[in-house]
Chains A and B, each alone.
Chain A
Amino acid sequence: MKTRFDNRYVAPLFITCILLVGHLFYGFLESYERTALAIGAAIVTELVLGRIFFGKWVNLASAYITGISVGILLRSPAFWPYALCSVVSIMSKYVLRAKDRHLWNPSNFGICALLLLAPDTVAVLSVQWGNFILPMLVIWILGSIIIWRAKRFHISFTYVVSFFVFAFLRSWITGHPWRAEVAPITGPMYQLFVFFMVTDPKTTVRSKTWQCVVVFFVAFVEMLLRLNQVIYAPLYALFLVGPTAMLIENWLESRKAATEKSGVATQESPAA
Chain B
Amino acid sequence: MSAPSENMPMAVSAARAKPLLLRHLPYFIGAAVLVALAATIQFDGYILNILMEATTFAIAVFGLSVVLGLCGQINLAQAAFFGLGAYAVGIGTSDYHVSYWFCLVGGCIIALLAGALLGMSTLRLGGHYLAMVTISFQQIVTLVMINTIWLTHGPDGVSNIGRPALFQSAQSYLAFCVGMLALVGYVVWHLSDTRLGRAMRAVRDNELAAGVVGIDVFRTKVSAFALSAVLGGLAGGLFAGGFAYVSPDQFSFAESVVFLTMSLLGGVASPIGSAIGTGLLILIPEWLRFLKSVPGLYLAIYGLSVILIIRYMPDGIWGFFNLATGRWRAKAKLRGAGPALRLAPAAVAGDNVLEVKGLSKHFGGLKAVDEVDIAVRRGGVHALIGPNGSGKTTTLNVLSGLYKATAGKVVLDGTDVTEMPPHQRAAAGLGRTFQNIRLFRSMTALENVVIGAERPGNALVGHGEDALNERAMSALTFVGLGSRANELISSFSYGHQRLIEIARALAANPTLLLLDEPAAGLNSSEKLELHELLKRIAAQGLTILIIDHDMTLVSEAAQHITVLNFGRRIADGESMAVLRHPDVVSAYLGSD
Q: Do A and B come from one complex?
A: no
Which residues of A are in contact with B by a Cβ distance under 8 Å? none
Which residues of B are in contact with A by a Cβ distance under 8 Å? none
